[in-house]
Amino acid sequence: MLEDESPSTQTQLGLVLLALGKYEDALTSLNRAIELDPKFYAAYGNRGIAHSRIGETNLALADYDQEIELNPDYVLAYSSRGSAYLLRGELELAMADLDRTIELDPESASAYVNRGVVLASAEELTLAVDDYTKAIHADPTSLNA
């Protein structure tokens, strides 16, 4: 048990555990962060990632929703939620979140890539190629671009 029981410390511990692939332990730390401060938005986003990694997409989406409610201009929350919607095949919802991500951060290569996937899935191939090209320009070194 950590001496520092702050939500920030518990969230950081959760991130380390996520990186180590210890998703259940990460959830424990992130749940503790939220118990300590239910308005600590970063804990919700990271808990959403943990839920997503173990296939609990509905719980992940609920966490991203809460993160957005607490911090409506947080780019990563829209990107994460858009990716979750994409995985579920909810293309319109994914597109809306990825559009918002790009609006908030026009240099987000991953948002362009994911939006390109949505567009390709909708058979909007010219627009998909445009987004893939924007991703490459935004981050030419990214393996995802």
Domain ranges for the chain, please list them. Answer: 1-72, 73-145
Identical fold at 1-72 and 73-145?
yes
pLDDT digits (tens, 9 = 90+) for 74-122: 999 999 999 999 999 999 999 999 999 999 999 999 999 999 999 999 9
CA 98 to chain CA centroid, nearest Å:
11
pLDDT digits (tens, 9 = 90+) for 32-67: 999 999 999 999 999 999 999 999 999 999 999 999
Which are the contacts of 120, defined by CB distance < 8 A and separation ≥ 6?
128
Place of tokens 């597109």: 95
1-72 placed in CATH 2.102.10.10: no
Q: What's the confidence (pLDDT) of residue 142?
A: 76
Q: Which CATH architecture has domain 73-145?
A: Alpha Horseshoe (1.25)
pTM of the full structure: 0.90
CB 128 within 8 A of CB 121: no
